[in-house]
A and B are shown apart, each in its own frame.
Chain A
Amino acid sequence: MYPPAFDYAVPRSLDEALDLLAEVGDEGRVLAGGQSLIPMMKLRLAAPAHLVDINEISELSYIREVNGHLAIGALTRHADVVRSEIVGAGCSTMASAAPWVADPLVRNRGTVCGSVAHCDPEGDWNSVMLALGAEVVARSRTGERVIPISDFVVDFFTNALEPGEMVTELRVPRDDERSGGCYLKLERKIGDYATVGVAAHLRLDERGRIGRAGLALTSVAPVNLEVEEAERMMAGQEPSEELFAEAAEIAARTCQPQSDVRGPAEYKRAVVRAYTRRALHQALATARGER
């Protein structure tokens, strides 16, 4: 399979990249890991006229701890996250999700920011980011915006970027000693998209109650779905089997799965229910330092 022709530019700095993106406007696409874009081009499902390849801008490859959050650069690969001690110590939810993104070779090339920008509702990272309340840093030649992830994810394969703008960084709240999370994914094999994915994150207050709850779902709506009703319901509550069961019920009720080869909608709701409960228990154990 062979991709259609395009114009190619490989900037050496972010400024140069932003200039190029400004020039090509909405005909242009950023080429980061390319692990979703290139297959789509090979199948001729995408045909961008211009590609701006950011792979040579090494300043965009980083994972840093800054002011209580983790900053993930636009060129940070999934495999960097898998290996990162900063993520391992500072973001249990990301650490739990990273090994289940795609396959090991794709993780060596694909980027977290690229996946977030792709807004594929079957992608794993946006559920993690929604559960964590992450922020997306977008830049263009005219300036920088910091966009809450819930505003960044607009629709099915649609993000909030303007022409000429690119994602340069993700800002993910760091776990403190009373928070923790996880990502549970049901997939049929390695490399498969999720049948259902559940990202759960809990921050406990000093009395052990739930201060903030984050819960988001993969593959069961036109976008990665934050279950705000369950998040609100859990906030301020004592964690318990019953509470998590109720949150799971809300998640199962709220999601909008489609019947397809991965199963009927009813089945996916049942998995959402089971995995939400399991994920919240696991998140609680992590927040309590039990695992």
Chain B
Amino acid sequence: MEVTVTVNGVEYRRETEPRRLLVDFIRTDLGLTGTHIGCDTTSCGACTVLLDGVPVKSCTMFAVQANGHELTTVEGLRRDGELSPVQAAFKEHHGLQCGFCTPGMMLVATALLGANPDPTEDEVRWALSGNICRCTGYANIVKAIQSAAATMHEGVRA
């Protein structure tokens, strides 16, 4: 089947088998390897992408289902040559170690801050609860996201 999908603002048209998982399509067919695979059971969130702005697990969708939709992957977070506030905050607050869960975590955070510009710690932790990190113990991820929220407020005021 032919699939037309806009990823990070770029339109791609590809032929694909219906059973092809969206995550394999993104990683292998489009070569965007920042989206990762960490489990088989929709548990870990390493494959998180934004589908029309909403975080979903791309291992639990077929590529054909993205036809006509817009996706954002980690490669699309950087805008106009600048790291997004979430990306910058992850580095600043040591919100990553091995980096494997990081793309998913940052995409969830980006969607969260779009909907809730000033989340409490509990709200951040709740939003992240579909994503697994094995390295950090989450504390610095939470800190990074709350700090990114503060940065974005300053940006709005400035």
Give A residues with C-beta under 8 Å from B: 1-8, 10, 31, 34-35, 38-39, 41-43, 51, 53, 55-56, 79, 99, 102-106, 108-109, 190-191
Contact = CB atoms under 8 A, between A and B. Distances in A.
B56 A6 contact: no
Contacts of A39: 40-42, 60
B43 A191 contact: yes
Nearest to B47: A105
Interface string B24-64: 10000000000000001111010010000011110111101
Given A106-B130, A108-B56, A191-B129, A38 B40 contact: no
14 contacts: A31-B65, A34-B61, A38-B42, A38-B60, A42-B21, A42-B40, A53-B65, A104-B129, A105-B108, A108-B55, A109-B56, A190-B129, A190-B130, A191-B129
B157 interface: no
B18 A106 contact: no
A6 B130 contact: no
A35 B62 CA distance: 11
Contacts of A109: 56-57, 60-61
Given A43-B40, A106-B60, 4 more contacts: A35-B42, A38-B60, A38-B62, A108-B55
A3 B55 CA distance: 22
Interface residues of B, number: 31
B9 to A, nearest CB: 22
- Grouping DSSP codes into helix (H, G, I), strand (E, B) and loop, the A interface class, with mixed when no group exceeds half, is loop
Given A38-B62, A106-B42, A108-B54, A6 B129 contact: no
Nearest to B40: A1
Nearest to B129: A190
Contacts of A104: 55, 108, 126-130
Interface of B: 1, 17-19, 21, 24, 40-43, 45, 48, 54-57, 59-62, 64-65, 67-68, 108, 126-131
A10 B60 contact: no
A43 B127 contact: no
Contact of B19 (A6, A35, A106): A6
Contacts of A191: 43, 129-130
B17 A105 contact: no
Contacts of B62: 8, 34, 38, 53
Nearest to A191: B43
A99 B60 CA distance: 20
A2 B62 CA distance: 11
A106 B129 CA distance: 10
B17 A5 contact: yes
Contacts of A106: 42, 57, 60, 130
Contacts of A43: 40-41
A191 B128 CA distance: 12
A8 B108 CA distance: 29
Nearest to B39: A1
Contacts of A51: 18
Contact of B18 (A8, A35, A102, A105): A8
B19 A3 contact: yes
Contacts of B59: 42
Contacts of B128: 104
A109 B64 CA distance: 15
B48 A105 contact: yes
A74 B60 CA distance: 19
A291 to B, nearest CB: 19
Contact of B60 (A6, A35, A55): A35
For A4, A53, A99, the residue with the greatest tally of chain B CB atoms inside 10 Å of its CB is A53
B21 A2 contact: yes
Nearest to A41: B19
